[in-house]
Chains A and B, each alone.
Chain A
Amino acid sequence: MRRSREPIIWALFGGGGMASALFMPVLILVLFIAMPLGWVQGVQGAPFAELQALVRHPLTRLGLFVFISLCWFHWAHRFRYTLYDGLQLSHLNELVAVMTYGIAIAGTVVGAVLLWGVG
């Protein structure tokens, strides 16, 4: 009997889960709460240039790309099973799989374009 290829996507799910667990809270706190509220520099003058340089650094681009991609695949795998268990859609299993992983691939591609196609 052929073994399922689930380990590949489970590894992506696991990696995405760990990465998002470790890094997302601080990113949200700093970039989406602290900076807009002015608790932390990053909007006016010199600090912005430094931030921009940081983001444009090749290592940051690579790190961000891997991180974003893992987050997408984490969502895709978990949401797929949420649809199976929560809405009992497992009879639509190919459609759900194509939809969720398709969106994850699209998100990854968009990420690559944004990180390397601009600036």
Chain B
Amino acid sequence: MNPKYRLYYPRWYRKRIPIFWWLQKRSHAAFMGRELTAVFVAYAAIMLMVLVLAMDRGQAAFAEMMDWLGTPAVVVAHVLVLCILLFHTITWLNLAPMAIVVKLGDRKVPAAAVLIGHYAAWVACTGVVAWLLIWR
């Protein structure tokens, strides 16, 4: 029956959903936390752009930005941001086997293989970027 017809059954009891329903259960709060990591992804994107801008303005501007980034409060803040983004990475990669189910011929690729493949990709990407930024 279409939910819109519920109006015509006034004696049925419908519980109201509180705005902060997601604070009432730990798993729901964790879910909301996971979704809010996207805000920090946007923050990181903005900061990358600011860094590129500073870099384009020359060494002095870049050094100034690095100095600001090096102040204790900012370092602590970015360590927190790093932890939040790691939470995003880990929850995202852990959900990959749920969405990606492939068959090779007659056999399903085991979920563990999909998971390990994703983590291996993460290690590889981390390695490449680190090498490019530090040693190249």
Using CB atoms and an 8 Å cutoff, list the residues of chain A in contact with chain B.
16-18, 20-33, 35-38, 40-44, 48, 50-52, 54-56, 64, 68, 71-72, 74-75, 78-79, 81-82, 85-88, 107, 110-111, 114-115, 118-119
Contacts and interface: CB of A to CB of B under 8 A. Distances in A.
Majority SS at the chain B contact face: helix
Interface string B66-103: 11111000110011011001101100110000000000
A72 B115 CA distance: 26
Contacts of A27: 44, 48, 129
Contacts, number: 147
B56 A118 contact: yes
Give the 7 A-B CB pairs with smallest separation, nearest first.
A36-B69, A36-B70, A78-B38, A75-B42, A119-B56, A71-B45, A21-B92
Q: Interface size for chain B: under 10, 10 to 19, 20 to 34, or 35 or more residues? A: 35 or more
Contacts of B49: 68, 110-111, 114
Given A27-B129, A51-B55, A86-B22, A22 B122 contact: yes
Given A21-B122, A22-B122, A33 B41 contact: no
A80 to B, nearest CB: 10
Contact of B47 (A32, A42, A111): A32
Nearest to A29: B82
A25 B86 contact: yes
Contacts of B85: 20, 24-25, 28
B35 interface: yes
5 contacts: A21-B88, A22-B122, A33-B79, A55-B52, A87-B19
Given A16-B41, A25-B85, A118 B133 contact: no
Given A43-B66, A111-B45, 9 more contacts: A21-B122, A24-B89, A30-B133, A32-B81, A35-B66, A37-B75, A42-B134, A85-B22, A114-B52
